[in-house]
Homo-oligomer: A and B are copies of this chain.
Amino acid sequence: MNKKLEEAPLTFISGEIRTGPGAIQNLSIDCVIFGFHQGRLKVLCVKYAMGEHAGRWALPGGWLHKDESIDDSAARHLRDLTGLEDIYLEQLQAFGSIDRVPGQRIVTIAYYALVRPEDYELIIGYTTDDVQWRDVEETSGLIFDHDQILHCALDSLRHKVRHEPIGFNLLPKKFTLLQLQELYEAILDVKLDKPNFRRKMIKMKLLVPSGEKQQHVAHRAAELYRFDEEIYKRLCEQGFTFEV
């Protein structure tokens, strides 16, 4: 773990960002990594230890290398930071104001990722100075234009989560309908009607009951569902569109 963190995404030497070997000048990658924990939407942030910006929070990122595509680069940075592979990862957009990094001209390509709580438990407790899950609502004051990137990613997530079944990437593989509802309520910042939400989801046929139920709960145990990607693809071919 520590080894990975030493490979800091951006290295500051007395205020200037130094590119590594194999890196492309002027081009970086930044990742907005969303998580969902205890009913709150979280984002993974890193804190720089050295240089002019020491102590300030930022989105994780790093240089684009010559021998990798931009998508591969984002996946590499995500893997280096979290150890996770096969994560939902999608390009947000490029950010390229002239002065987004003072004194240098760096265009960054931002990605956002959705990770499962069960997968990132390794680092959820890792609340040192270096890397931390932060509440999205309470995260501001990030370095450079990272506040703007985060805001943009959140907008995109809010929109996308309503029109595509990507929210499941933030939940455990098996989840209850209430968990799913709470996820939507957290992301969209709305209150939903339980019976109606339930019916809407069931009617779409995208969720298949796992046959298992919750264990050790102080109320009637709920059915655990999983999202079926194959069914979704098949329905899409028939003109189905996901809507929440």
**This chain's copy number in the assembly:** 2
Residues of B within 8 Å of A207, CB to CB, are: none
Q: Which residues of B contact A94 (CB under 8 A)?
A: 70, 91, 93-94, 109
Q: How many residues of A contact B (CB 8 A)?
A: 23
Please indicate the chain B residues that have their CB under 8 angstroms from the CB of A96 in the complex. Answer: 64, 69-71, 109
Is A26 part of the contact surface with B, judged by Cβ < 8 Å?
yes
Asked, given contacts A91-B93, A93-B93, whether A98 binds B67 with beta carbons under 8 Å apart, the answer is yes
Query: Does A107 lie within 8 Å of B64, measured CB to CB?
Result: yes
A233: Cβ under 8 A from any B Cβ: no
With A67-B98, A69-B98, A98-B67 known as contacts, the answer to whether A24 contacts B93 (CB < 8 A) is: no
Query: Is A185 on the interface with B (CB-CB < 8 A)?
Result: no
Mark interface residues in A74-111 (1 if CB within 8 Å of B CB, else 0): 00000000000000000101111110000001010100
Q: Measured between alpha carbons, how far is A128 from B64 in the docked complex, in Å?
A: 40
Interface membership of A25, Cβ < 8 A: yes
Tell me, in angstroms, the Cα distance from A66 to B67 when the chains sit together: 24
A143 interfacial by beta-carbon distance below 8 Å: no
Q: Bound state CA distance, A239 and B152, in angstroms?
A: 19
Cα separation A159 to B241 with both chains bound (whole Å): 11
Cβ proximity bits A19-43 to B, threshold 8 Å, 1 near / 0 not:
0000011110000000000000000
Q: Which residues of the other chain, B, contact A95 by a CB distance below 8 angstroms? A: 70
Flag whether A68 is at the interface (Cβ < 8 A). Answer: yes
Given contacts A24-B105, A94-B109, 4 further A-B contacts (CB under 8 A): A67-B98, A69-B98, A70-B96, A91-B93
